[in-house]
Structures are given as structure tokens and as C-alpha cells.
Amino acid sequence: SQQGEEDPQALSIQEGENATMNCSYKTSINNLQWYRQNSGRGLVHLILIRSNEREKHSGRLRVTLDTSKKSSSLLITASRAADTASYFCATALIQGAQKLVFGQGTRLTINP
């Protein structure tokens, strides 16, 4: 079963704008990760945030985590056409080796 619920399911913005995607989950986690998937391709890891962290940055990506609300957000700043993809949050429910439970994803389209 899917642990994460992502919102919105689809997002279409203009190039240069910021894109924000949200993820909510149900049970306590060790960490939360965001992955990107281009159409017809495998998933690529973007960023990992641990349960004791509140915010993390990587390049144009900013991730926040609110464990009290069981939610996370991914912000992509200054979007580019190449950012068009599906974005998935994934939660690691046990410590150690990562059995990740994925959400349903947000399909992001960046219009040039």
C-alpha cells in the first residue's frame, strides 16, 4: 500500500517560476526521500531528509519536513524546462537498510 499522499497530482508552471510539491505520510519514519522520474525512465534520487532534520537544501532544491504534521514539501526554484518529470516522495519506515514506501507522485510540467 502507498504510505505517501502527494499534492498536487499534477502541476504546470512557466519556466522561471518556483514549483512546490507536498507529501503527507501516515506512520513514523526514519527518513524521507524525494526521487525524480523522467517519462519511461528509472527513478533518480534527489535528496534525503532525516526525521531529526527540518530543512535541507541541494542546489535549486529545498526540502522541509514537519514530523508533527507528518508532511514534507519539495521546492524547486527557478524552474527549467528540463525539470519536467514526475516527483515522488518515499519514506523509510525502518532503520538500516532502506525499504522505501513511495507516494503516488506529482507530475510537473514546466512550460517554456
Partner 1 sequence: GAGVSQTPSNKVTEKGKYVELRCDPISGHTALYWYRQSLGQGPEFLIYFQGTGAADDSGLPNDRFFAVRPEGSVSTLKIQRTERGDSAVYLCASSLLPPQNTGELFFGEGSRLTVL
Contact residues: partner 1, CB under 8 A: 2, 4, 31, 33, 35, 41-45, 48, 88, 90, 92, 96-105
Shorter beta-carbon distance to partner 1: residue 96 or 112 = 96
Q: Give the residues across from 20 on adjacent strands.
A: 75
Question: Which residue reads 499522499 in cell numbers?
Answer: 5
Shorter beta-carbon distance to partner 1: residue 13 or 100 = 100
Cα dihedral 49, 51, 53, 54, rounded to 10, equals 90
Q: What are phi and psi of 31, to 5 degrees?
A: -155, 165
Smallest distance from partner 1 to CB 69, Å: 21
Smallest distance from partner 1 to CB 22, Å: 15
